[in-house]
Chain A
Amino acid sequence: MSTTTARTTARTAERTRRVGRVAGRTGQYAALVLYLVFLAFPLLWLISTSFKSPQELASIDPTWIPREPSLDNYRAAFDAQPLLRAAFNSLLVAGTSAVIAVAIAVPAAYVMVRHRSRVTRAGTAWILVSQMFPLVLIIIPLFLILRNLRMIDSLPGLIMVYVVWSLPFALWMLQGYVKAVPRSLEEAAAVDGASRLTTLRSVVLPLLTPGLVATLMFAFVTAWNEFFFALVLLKSPEKQTMSVILTLFVGDEGAADLGPLAAAAFLATLPSLLFFALLQRRLVSGMLAGAVKG
Chain B
Amino acid sequence: MRRTPTRTAPARAAAVFALAALLAGCGLGDEGPDDGTVTLDYLSLAWQAESVEANKALVDRWNAANPDVRVRYVQGSWDNVHDQLLTSFMGGEAPDIIHNDASDLTDFAYGGYLADLTDLLPPELRADIPEQAWGTTTFDGGVYGVPFLQEPRVLIANAALLADAGVRIPTTDDPWTWEEFEDVAADLTRDTDGDGETDTYGVAWSMSEPVSQSVNLSLSTGGQLFYRDGGENEVRYGAADSAVAELIHRQVNEDGTAPRSSLGMGGSDTLPGFFADRYALLPLNFSFRQQVAQQAPDGFGWSVLPMPSGGGDEGLAQGVAPQTLSVAQDSDHRQAAADFIAFLTRADHAVELARGDWMLPTSTTALADPSLSTEELGWRTGVELAAALRPSPVLGVRGYPEWKDKIATPAFQEYYNGAVDLEDLREELTDDGNRILDRYQR
The residues of A with any CB-CB pair to B shorter than 8 Å are: 54-55, 57-61, 76, 79-80, 92-93, 95-96, 99-100, 103, 136, 139-140, 143-144, 147, 152-157, 159, 202, 206, 228, 231-232, 235-240, 244, 247-258
Residue of B17, B22, B28, B288 touching A255 (CB-CB under 8 A): B288
Whose C-beta in chain B lies nearest to the C-beta of A99?
B14
In the assembly, what is the distance between CA of A54 and CA of B278, in Å?
Answer: 19
Q: Known contacts being A60-B272, A237-B75, is A156 close to B88, with CB within 8 Å? A: no
Are A253 and B272 in touch, CB under 8 angstroms? no
- Enumerate 19 A-B pairs (CB-CB under 8 Å) in ascending A order: A58-B297, A59-B272, A60-B272, A60-B275, A79-B49, A80-B52, A140-B90, A147-B92, A155-B24, A231-B80, A231-B84, A236-B28, A236-B30, A237-B72, A240-B75, A250-B78, A253-B209, A255-B267, A255-B291
Cβ contacts under 8 Å, B272 to chain A: 58-60
Residue of A54, A244, A253 touching B267 (CB-CB under 8 A): A253
Task: Say yes or no for B273: interface residue by CB 8 A criterion.
Answer: yes
Contact with A along B264-277 (1 / 0, CB 8 A): 00111101110110
Cβ contacts under 8 Å, B47 to chain A: 248-251, 257
CB proximity of B397 to chain A, nearest CB, Å: 20
Are B91 and A152 in touch, CB under 8 angstroms? yes
Q: Which of B69-98 contact A (CB under 8 A)?
A: 72-75, 77-80, 83-84, 87-88, 90-93, 95
Are A156 and B22 in touch, CB under 8 angstroms? yes
Are B83 and A228 in touch, CB under 8 angstroms? yes
In the assembly, what is the distance between CA of A253 and CA of B216, in Å?
Answer: 15
Q: Known contacts being A60-B276, A140-B90, A247-B80, is A159 close to B74, with CB within 8 Å? A: no
Contact with A along B1-44 (1 / 0, CB 8 A): 10000010000001001101110111011100000000001000
Interface size of B by Cβ–Cβ distance < 8 Å? 59
Cβ contacts under 8 Å, B26 to chain A: 154, 156
Are A95 and B17 in touch, CB under 8 angstroms? yes
> Which among B84, B91, B209 has the highest number of chain A CB atoms within 10 Å?
B91
Are B41 and A235 in touch, CB under 8 angstroms? yes
Cβ contacts under 8 Å, B21 to chain A: 92-93, 95-96, 155-156, 159
In the assembly, what is the distance between CA of A179 and CA of B83, in Å?
Answer: 42
Are A60 and B273 in touch, CB under 8 angstroms? yes
Q: Which of B87-146 contact A (CB under 8 A)?
A: 87-88, 90-93, 95, 101
CB proximity of A3 to chain B, nearest CB, Å: 61
